[in-house]
A and B are shown apart, each in its own frame.
Chain A
Amino acid sequence: MNYKSMDEANKAVIDKITGSAPFLVDVVPAKEKIKELNDGKVLLHAGPPIEWNDMTGPMQGSCIGASIYEGWASNEEEAEKQLAGGEVKFIPCHHVNAVGPMGGITSANMPVFVVENRTDGNEAYCIMNEGIGKVLRFGANSQEVIDRLKWMQDILGPTIAKALALTEDGLNLNVIIAKAITMGDEFHQRNIAASLIFLKEISPYIVQLDMNESDRKDVIQFLADTDQFFLNIMMATAKAVMDGARTIQDGTVVTAMCRNGKDFGIRISGMGDEWFTAPVNTPQGLFFTGYSQDDANPDIGDSAITETFGVGGMAMIAAPGVTRFVGAGGFDDALATSNEMTEICVSQNSNFTIPTWDFQGACLGIDARKVVETGIEPVINTGIAHKKAGMGQVGAGTVRAPKECFEKALEAYAVKLGLI
């Protein structure tokens, strides 16, 4: 180890996080940044590695949708045959500097946000938010879904890319996050403030673009309608920052948390790229009418990168508007949740102070040791997918990261260091 103590190593990791400088610089087709997508039929997915047969409904539904979207198949049956037949190669988003919401299915031509972390020079990518209702990330794959993806590829993505090109050096995301956290966002369940700030920042550039007026109106309307638009930017931001922090190859700070519907996976700073997994939990929460806990898909998506970064469920107190997801509780429950989360973190991030928390900083650096010591599992705010493909979102709630992942990570690290 390059540090005198674990605390010192962890301090180095969190210094990387607080010192990060993420900028939104571009939107490009995924294949331009992720070379693996140019090599035949390849799909990225959320969570630690998983194969077709082990995927839950929503992820399979997304794969089918992506196959049709990419033109590999013309219908569901054909797509399913290819996918089940091993014609499509699966790679976790996390392995190619990307993250993906829910199923996380990302294919070559989908536009992705490009977030550059200027302190470490690394980039991270995430597909764009499709809005709510029938959407690919929840496994929906009807024509309506494909059409919207095509529109995002042809109109939305290029428009935002051109608008960003007009900015001097992209959008400074730390600034947007710092503002939005004071406006009630926790960036997982609630992104409305950040989405509005994004719209405020980008629209002056969009109005300058030489483009079809009807397309321009559609783009602005879509951004205005999509409350969670910033979530995917937040995910790419958190990924870029945590990957920068991961260049410190020591310590016990959690650098990624993600789920594939079957396994929950974490990485810690001292163990580099290795995943430590345990079966996922199923989120508990509120359901739309006609649906219940029985319909809930097990926990899924890379969006827990937001909690890894210290927001989302960790920053519950920042978002009084969504506190009731903590279990129909009120402000005090949110306060208790965030206070509890500070017990397992190395420190608090003074870049993102939370007014409703007496201006304490957001959680900073989940220490796997503290998780194991206290048994307090990180809390994650999450949408809940129907377990059947294509049914979409049926509710929202919270879920905990299973303790076993953290135990395995510490055990492996102790072995690596020759301590046991």
Chain B
Amino acid sequence: MLHTIIKKNSYQDSINLMLLTNSIATMEGLNKVQIMMATPANKDIFKDAGLHTSELEAAESNDMAIVVDTDNADMIDTVLEKVEQYLNDQSISNKKQGFETVRTWDKAVDALPNANVAMISVPGEYAADEADKALDRGLHVFMFSDNVSVEDELRLKQKAHEKGLLVMGPDCGTGILDGVPLAFANVVNKGRIGLVGASGTGIQEVSTIIDRLGEGVSHAIGTGGRDLKDPIGAITMMDGIRALENHSATEIITIISKPPAEHVRNEVMELLQSLTKPVVAVFLGEKPEQYEGNVYQAYTLAETAHIAVDLARGNEVKPDYNSGDFSVENASLKDGQKTLKGLYSGGTLASEAAVLISDALGLGTHIKNEEGYVLKHEGQEIVDLGDDKYTQGKPHPMIDPETRSKFIEQAGDDETTAVILLDFVLGYGSHDDMASALLPSIKKAVAKAKEGGRTLHVVATVCGTKNDPQSYDGHVKQLKEAGVIVKETNNEAVRTALSIVGLQVEDNQKKHVEGTKSDKKFDLSVSEDIASLVSERPRVINVGLKGFTGALSDTGTQFVQYDWRPVAGGNARMAKILSLLK
């Protein structure tokens, strides 16, 4: 039966009433409903729907007509109530986000005309093209993407150098520009120590230790892991060093890398010797015997941070910061329990562990990498779980605990295992609470070993600062409460693990000798673009992973999100045609 409700002189626009009709139509007990203004044309529509009534016919254009077909007359009041409620509550939820999202380079540049950095995290096969486009627009490039060919890297870096721009990366996992954390990076106090580094967790370890020692970082410029190798020849490293040399707020320059190619190393060292500022350098795997002129070479990442801090404070630099007492009380081991299993999420931290353990075993300090194992010698194992071998189709172990959990349990089952060595890397990009994520497996492994009559020791280091999004203190506390031995630095953690199995590293007492100044005249000047990169807050176009915008928002950095998709949806033929229609 048809019921008509006419709301006199109650104008609503037609779309609103269609939405209202749809909403009312979902109510149980109604056969049909139509709500419209009672215009002549709409009356025809009522007619077509079989909802025409004499009350409707009598209504006028400015009246709202509700015609309900229902067998239950009691429903009319409910309908009316719902109509009133709908009309009174028409506000639409506001989903505003605080930044602009674009889909093309042109719009990105329109949205942020003064952008100076493009952060690129698109799949590797497309990354070089996007970096090219960024350079063409006069932007410095922070290239998180990996799987970029070395040919592309060389071409991009040469192009950037000619244009007076920097390419940080590819495979650049971390960076800090004027206090703004980029990609996987910690919230580090701003200060007078500038870093240039070819390794992700190397920069994270050094910068967080500097922060915890009470000093700060002006910039941390990532170069990508291949920068100091052939054929790149440290293009970014050297431009980065010049940038910091010219940056007045940077007082100490610190460089971090695995050992460079010999001639690259010589060239970089010559450049460093020509600087006016003191330099701390660590080439992981090189065990330095002396400090030369203004260049203080360190053995470990922790030592690097300590030297930088002492230099910044005008303290005398000590001959050695590494040695110390790392013994563990009541470290009981069963016979045969003599191996260390380092299960790392940070590649450079794993390498550092491998160097120290090799050194303690008398195997030298050269690092290899076989299927992610940076050390595999008579049961002594250090594995970089962030290696490609373990991240195919899986998230990185700094984000996802799964692979590491398995390795922890396996290591616990191995009767030779005396110590499991772990890193917990905090900061933007990393897991919200890796301690809670891994503790179940740790506890399980320890308990299982105990059932077998063994004491399984777990030694960890937490790489982070008090201002990181995760709680540094909370991590330390939680791990300690679970019986994990937590050390301030990776260096200390490794040495503690070594002491448990009765091993130790002999450290060099480094003397300070005169530097060898080369005759070569180095041009230490930088382009205007690089000078402003280090003297101003970065303004970022984030090309790719939206997750990276968190740090940018939190630090009040100007940025625009470029929701990147492959050109022409990955259709290669159309992409080619597009490249021709210029």
Residues of A within 8 A of B (CB): 5-7, 131-134, 252, 286-290, 321-322, 324-325, 328-332, 340, 342-343, 369-370, 372-376, 391, 395-396, 407, 410-411, 413-414, 417, 419-420
Question: In the complex, what distance in Å separates the CA atom of A369 from the CA atom of B567?
Answer: 10
Contact B45 A6 (CB under 8 A): no
Nearest A residue to B24 via CB reads A289
Tell me whether B314 is interfacial, beta carbon within 8 Å.
no
Contact B577 A420 (CB under 8 A): yes
Contact B41 A133 (CB under 8 A): yes
Give the chain A neighbours of B104 by CB distance below 8 A. 343, 370, 373-374
Contact B95 A332 (CB under 8 A): yes
Contact B569 A286 (CB under 8 A): no
Given A343-B107, A410-B578, A414-B577, residue A372 in contact with residue B15 (CB < 8 A): no
Which of B19, B41, B94, B576 has the largest number of chain A CB atoms within 10 A? B41
Give the chain A neighbours of B93 by CB distance below 8 A. 330
Within 8 A of A (CB), among B95-151: 95-96, 102-104, 106-107
Contact A289 B569 (CB under 8 A): no
Contact A376 B103 (CB under 8 A): yes
Give the chain A neighbours of B580 by CB distance below 8 A. 414, 419-420
* Residue from B33, B41, B103, B567 within 8 A of A289 (CB atoms): B33
Contact A369 B578 (CB under 8 A): yes
Nearest B residue to A368 via CB reads B581
Contact B581 A6 (CB under 8 A): yes
Question: Which 10 residue pairs of A and B lie closest in terms of their CB atoms, listed nearest first?
Answer: A330-B92, A289-B34, A290-B49, A133-B41, A286-B18, A419-B580, A343-B103, A289-B49, A324-B15, A132-B41
Given A324-B19, A340-B103, residue A134 in contact with residue B94 (CB < 8 A): no
Question: In the complex, what distance in Å separates the CA atom of A296 from the CA atom of B15?
Answer: 17
Contact A369 B45 (CB under 8 A): no
Give the chain B neighbours of A372 by CB distance below 8 A. 568, 574, 577-578
Give the chain A neighbours of B94 by CB distance below 8 A. 330, 332
Contact B34 A288 (CB under 8 A): yes
Question: In the complex, what distance in Å separates the CA atom of A321 from the CA atom of B11?
Answer: 13
Q: How far is the CB of B67 from chain A (nearest CB, A)?
A: 9
* Residue from A289, A331, A370 within 8 A of B21 (CB atoms): A289
Question: In the complex, what distance in Å separates the CA atom of A133 from the CA atom of B14?
Answer: 14
Q: Give a binary string over B25-66; 1 marks a CB under 8 Å from any A CB, 0 the rest.
A: 100000011101000110011001111000000000000000
Tell me whether B16 is interfacial, beta carbon within 8 Å.
yes
Contact B13 A321 (CB under 8 A): yes
Question: In the complex, what distance in Å separates the CA atom of A329 from the CA atom of B96?
Answer: 13
* Residue from A6, A286, A410 within 8 A of B22 (CB atoms): A286
Question: In the complex, what distance in Å separates the CA atom of A329 from the CA atom of B19?
Answer: 11
Give the chain B neighbours of A370 by CB distance below 8 A. 104
Give the chain B neighbours of A395 by CB distance below 8 A. 18
Question: In the complex, what distance in Å separates the CA atom of A139 from the CA atom of B203?
Answer: 71
Question: In the complex, what distance in Å separates the CA atom of A321 from the CA atom of B14?
Answer: 10
Question: In the complex, what distance in Å separates the CA atom of A407 from the CA atom of B582?
Answer: 15
Give the chain A neighbours of B581 by CB distance below 8 A. 6, 252, 369, 410, 413-414, 417, 419
Question: In the complex, what distance in Å separates the CA atom of A396 from the CA atom of B580?
Answer: 39
Give the chain B neighbours of A287 by CB distance below 8 A. 18
Tell me whether B565 is interfacial, beta carbon within 8 Å.
yes
In addition to A286-B15, A286-B22, A414-B577, 5 A-B residue pairs with Cβ atoms within 8 Å of each other are A332-B94, A372-B568, A375-B569, A395-B18, A396-B15
Q: How far is the CB of A151 from chain B (nearest CB, A)?
A: 16
Contact B18 A410 (CB under 8 A): no
Contact A133 B577 (CB under 8 A): no
Give the chain B neighbours of A252 by CB distance below 8 A. 581
Contact A290 B103 (CB under 8 A): no
Question: In the complex, what distance in Å separates the CA atom of A369 from the CA atom of B565?
Answer: 15
Question: In the complex, what distance in Å separates the CA atom of A133 from the CA atom of B107?
Answer: 42
Question: In the complex, what distance in Å separates the CA atom of A370 from the CA atom of B103?
Answer: 10
Give the chain A neighbours of B574 by CB distance below 8 A. 372, 407, 410-411
Contact B19 A286 (CB under 8 A): yes
Question: In the complex, what distance in Å separates the CA atom of A369 from the CA atom of B44?
Answer: 45
Given A288-B34, A343-B104, A407-B574, residue A328 in contact with residue B25 (CB < 8 A): no
Question: In the complex, what distance in Å separates the CA atom of A374 from the CA atom of B19?
Answer: 32
Which of B18, B102, B567 has the largest number of chain A CB atoms within 10 A? B18
